[in-house]
Amino acid sequence: MTRETKDYLHLHFIVLIWGFSAILGLLITMPTVELVFYRTLFSALGLYLVIKARGVGFRIGKRSDFWIIMGTGFLIAAHWVTFFLSARISNVSISLAGFATCSLWTAIIEPLSMGRKVKGYELILGVIAIVGIVVIFNTEFNYFLGLSVAILSAILCSLFSVINAKLSTKYDPYVITFYEMIGAWVSIGLFFPIYTRTFTDKLHLSGTVLDFVFLSILAVFCTVYAYSISVELMKRISAFSINLTINLEPIYGIILALIIFGESEKMTVGFYIGTGLILASVLLYPMLNRRFKQKALSTDIIR
């Protein structure tokens, strides 16, 4: 087996791991906010060890950039909370279908942040994705709230993807993510007083042994390991190929959910038609982007 083949298989394995993260979110019994609190903490600790092993400094040159990175951590925390919440109030398939619109929102937000017009093919793909969303809403109206929360999660993901694309030109991506995990963890901690007064009577920071096993897998494998390997693969695989493969995450996740959860994940034909339209727009985007020779946005790989 050639090095190139091994790299592509490794990349697909990483995307499979990301697709598994929503399933882990359902298997963990503690509430969503507490789940994200631990995931960000464990991820920050893991990234700290990785950075120390690589011998890279932790310094961020500009104070304003440091606070932007920490603030981006808030977006990541909100993204993870809404992502796992959508799976819990609906199911994994609905959550991943909504999350698949991330590329659509990035295609809209990135040009606006760069001060350029949205291209014609981006508008066409956006319309295709929106038609897919409408089809799912019409055929799976019982999951209206779950899909809406998943789409909000996708919008949050696209926001920090655009921010990280700019930051990654200045600083080491591991260091950026380390501080973002700290920012996300602090954000959840600051949210706790509001959370306990508005949504619950007390925090549920204790969990079963299995909860913490799944949390460790979520942080170590789905975040630190997957992130570290994907950064290394970017040195040998084109950004186009990586972006295209990452867009397969919802497909892998939905298949895994069907295998693990069975009947609860079986949806109507309309759901799969709508999801197919969304995924078609997602997979066509990097192809058309390459064809028209535009600079592709580096996909943020925090899942």
**What pLDDT, in 10s, does the model give residues 105-136?**
877 887 777 777 777 777 788 788 888 888 88
Burial class of residue 17 (count of CB atoms within 10 Å of its CB; 0-12, 13-18, 19+): buried
Over residues 264-292, the mean pLDDT reads 81
Query: Higher pLDDT residue, 92 or 291?
Result: 92
- Whether 297 has a pLDDT exceeding 90, the answer reads no
By CB atoms closer than 10 A (0-12, 13-18, 19+), residue 2 is exposed
User: Which residue would you say has higher pLDDT here, 294 or 138?
Assistant: 138
Is-contact 31 204, C-beta < 8 A? Answer: yes
In this prediction, residue 39 has a pLDDT band, given cuts at 50, 70 and 90, of very high
**pLDDT reading at 156 higher than 90:** yes
Whether the CB-CB separation of 278 and 127 falls below 8 Å is answered with no
The model carries a pTM of 0.87
Residue 169: what are its φ and ψ, rounded to 5°? -80, -10
- Burial bucket for residue 57 (CB in 10 Å: 0-12, 13-18, 19+): exposed
CA-to-CA dists, residue 113 to 79, 117, 132, angstroms: 20, 10, 26
Q: What is the pLDDT of residues 175-187, one digit of tens each?
A: 988 999 999 999 9
Higher pLDDT, 270 or 188: 188
Q: How many helices (H) and strands (E) does the chain have?
A: 13, 0
Whether 219 and 43 have beta carbons less than 8 Å apart is answered as yes
Domain ranges of the chain: 3-291
